[in-house]
Chain A
Amino acid sequence: MGARAQAFGRTDGIAPAGDIFAVQNEVSDGVMSTLGGRGLLTSLAAAAAKRKGPCDLEAYDVFALGLADFYRDGEENFAEGIKLFDAAIAKDPQFAFAYVKKAWSMLNYTLCTNGDIDQTGEEFERLARKAIEIDPYDAEGHIALGDKLVWWGDFAQGAVEVERALELNPSSTDIMAMSAGAMAHLGKPEQGAAQCDKAYRLNSAPPPFYPPFCYESYFFTDGIEGRRKRRSVMAHGCGAARGVVT
């Protein structure tokens, strides 16, 4: 019996065509999420940018360097990331994703330093809305705004933005994970946990910001055994040695 047929529980040796297409879609989504999104390729861009002279840096180079800092975690790195995202925006004021990542860096910095979270929340929302204004079809702005609104208690409008992000980019594992961050708050932790499972399954190089978007949904849906298995997801916090808060 073929391995694929076996995988689908078929005993006649033939894998159902629909399931094969589903697998093909999942494989392509996995490859895209691992390489693209803002994962591996951005890391390569950051490595290339480090070799350039300061005067040769384009907006995307500076952005990639900022993202590298963002992934390193810790208040110093978040602070450096904010400066670099500002520099990217100065070079290209229409660079929507730089506004979004600046927003996340600011939120992380505030969480790490126990700063004024409501003040940062207002700036976070402004940056997310600016990104949406520049590029309304980029899911990143919508998921940032949706998460913020939900976390601050505006469930109705937040849910609209989260759904919009998932509509715009249903294959992105980053969007799956980040939207999961809202699901427990919206009363849908099972959906959040399923999205996180899928994001981890598809993205073989998940960025370090997935755990904080997933731990709530996992906490509210897992039994004791599940929580034991997912200790690595729960055990994170500010500081490079322990993972990243996003």
Chain B
Amino acid sequence: MISLAFRAAAEVEAGAADDAAATIIEWKRRYPQALPVEIFLSFYTAYARQQEADQLAASLQKAGAPMCVIRRGTPIDMRRRALSSI
């Protein structure tokens, strides 16, 4: 799951949006119970600095990864809200 997340993020940031979308589909196929990005970042990765988590969240959102909330706020705001609800 982690490698697919980074692959999608890297593809979209390299301008390969179609490849990123395909990787997200692969992510959902292999992990049908796939957790939203905010939860993925909270439970499957740990970063000492917030900036890495924010950058990854932003790239994954750009790639079309499943998010808890998609209309308002920055990715990190969404992540904080998601965490506060657990």
| Total number of A residues with any Cβ neighbor in B under 8 Å | 29
Q: Which of B14, B30, B46 contacts A227 (CB 8 A)?
A: B14
* Shortest CB distance A233–B (Å): 9
Closest-by-CB residue of A relative to B50 is: A187
Q: Is A234 in contact with B47, judged by CB distance below 8 angstroms?
A: no
Interface of B: prevailing SS: helix
A152 touches B48 (CB 8 A): no
- The residue from B3, B11, B52 contacting A237, defined by CB atoms under 8 A apart: B3
B73 to chain A: which residues have CB within 8 Å? none
Segment 157-213 of A: residues with Cβ below 8 Å from B:
184-187, 189, 212
Closest Cβ of chain A to B60, distance in Å, is: 11
Residues of B within 8 A of A4 (CB): none
Closest chain B CB from A85 CB (angstroms): 23
Interface size counted on chain B using CB atoms at 8 A:
24
B52 in contact with A150 (CB, 8 Å):
no
Quick check: B6 and A114 within 8 Å, CB to CB? no
CA distance A183 to B47 in the complex (A): 10
Q: What is the CB-to-nearest-CB distance from B21 to chain A, in angstroms, rounded to a whole number?
A: 15
What 7 pairs between A and B have smallest CB-CB spacing? A153-B46, A187-B49, A227-B14, A234-B10, A187-B48, A228-B14, A155-B48
Q: Mind listing 23 A-B residue pairs with CB under 8 Å?
A: A111-B1, A111-B3, A114-B31, A152-B46, A153-B46, A155-B48, A187-B52, A189-B52, A212-B3, A215-B3, A215-B7, A215-B10, A218-B10, A219-B6, A219-B10, A220-B55, A227-B10, A227-B14, A231-B11, A235-B7, A237-B3, A237-B7, A245-B3
B interface residues, Cβ below 8 angstroms from A: 1-4, 6-7, 9-11, 13-16, 30-31, 44-49, 52, 55-56
Task: Report A's interface with B, CB cutoff 8 A.
Answer: 111, 114, 117, 150-153, 155, 184-187, 189, 212, 215-216, 218-220, 224, 227-228, 230-231, 234-237, 245
